[in-house]
Structure 1
């Protein structure tokens, strides 16, 4: 299945305020039940096991409403892992509809992160990487590696025909026409696990790893050089 790029409506808030709000709610539902939050938690648990560290600061880039990072922190707390998220998105309209009162929030461009080197233990992006072209994704991860002390986590959709079919089957669950447009577009824009690994190997990471997760997601970790 060839990767194709079509603009997503939510990227430019192309809809009424009610439609945008409904689409953000759809994304929160998808992340909660179809692997977005679970994938981030699983990757952080791997890092906790590898580093023997039980407390992390995390910058969530392209965070939307911030639900993924905030709810991941709640789930990880049950496993005695402390996660202190900071959320960042280019659109204030997305952050103001979310959980930013439970985490510090910033409006900024993902390719120009406004933080000093080593500001966070982890930098993550969830369901965001497919918005970037390969060159941009390498650029983002390299910049994120500067801001991170330990690793950069990429949690995204995985492109294949079965995933695309599942999105169409899920249409009755979506409240917004924006989601019904953007869902298939997102799958077609996303990367395979092999493509993700190939791109991350072009970054300045010390080493990279990627695994497939529940409901056609890829979780990749770019470890920082010590």
Structure 2
């Protein structure tokens, strides 16, 4: 799906199916309850979702906050126009906005957010790009940064391969299997992260690279 000439219909189906897949496996409900909801109040809390893709995580978090009667403003950014195009076609959700941008643009603008997050982004990056992402996250996050990513595992590879066989006409299965192969072990991610960042356990077959101000 990263190829610029990939089938647009399959790509749209992939963004559409990501919502169900992420709800099932990525662990954001637990992260919302443990990491985000304690920060929320009637005053807006701001979140930046870097590499937001089709926008499902941003929308999911905002809807949970709305159901809890809390105020959450989520900005999703992605440099890929196809991803942002899909996100902007979503039905509007209060407190969610999307823009095609790289995190460097927000730094130039002097933007700051209470929390910076990403989902399944780290394994896509070269070592240099990972360093840039973490540097930018530290500059953009007022309170904490949480990068949720896959943890490489043979069992995860086998289970995901079987579980995604029924998903039709999308890149979910092939992209997911490639992502698991590319992802870090906890020791590898710890070694790659600069001082101040900590690798924490996440949902099954997931890990969080976290930076906390307090």
Q: Which residue, 30, 37, 44 being the options, matches 2:35? A: 44
Q: Which residue, 114, 126, 133 being the options, matches 1:121? A: 114
Q: What's the TM-score once normalised by structure 1's chain length? A: 0.80
Correspondence for 1:89: 78
Q: Distance in 1 between matches of 2:180 and 2:112?
A: 32
Correspondence for 2:10: 19
Matched residue SS, 1:138: helix
Q: Distance in 1 between matches of 2:69 and 2:189?
A: 30
Correspondence for 2:132: 139
1:139-172 per-residue CA deviation (whole Å, 9 max, x = no partner) reads 2111121112112110111111111011111232
* TM-aligned CA deviation for residue 138 of structure 1: 2.1
Q: Distance in 2 between matches of 1:97 and 1:120?
A: 24
* TM-aligned CA deviation for residue 76 of structure 1: 3.7
Alignment size in residue pairs: 207
Q: Distance in 2 between matches of 1:21 and 1:58?
A: 25
What pairs with 1:149-188 in structure 2 (closer than 5 Å)? 149-188=142-181
Matched residue SS, 1:86: strand
Q: Does 1:74 align with 2:67?
A: no
Gaps of 5+ in 1: 1-9
* TM-aligned CA deviation for residue 97 of structure 1: 1.6
Q: Which residue, 159, 175, 197 being the options, matches 1:208? A: 197
Which structure has more relative contact order (CA 8 Å, sep 6+)? It is 1
Q: Distance in 2 between matches of 1:37 and 1:95?
A: 21
Q: What's the TM-score once normalised by structure 2's chain length? A: 0.84
- Asked whether the equivalents of residues 40 and 72 of structure 1 are also in contact (C-alpha less than 8 Å), the reply is no
* TM-aligned CA deviation for residue 43 of structure 1: 5.3
In structure 2, the CA distance between the partners of 1:28 and 1:145, relative to structure 1 (3 Å rule), is: same
CA RMSD of aligned residues (A): 2.4
- Asked whether the equivalents of residues 40 and 155 of structure 1 are also in contact (C-alpha less than 8 Å), the reply is no
* TM-aligned CA deviation for residue 13 of structure 1: 4.1
1:181-213 per-residue CA deviation (whole Å, 9 max, x = no partner) reads 21110001111223223333x15xxx3333322
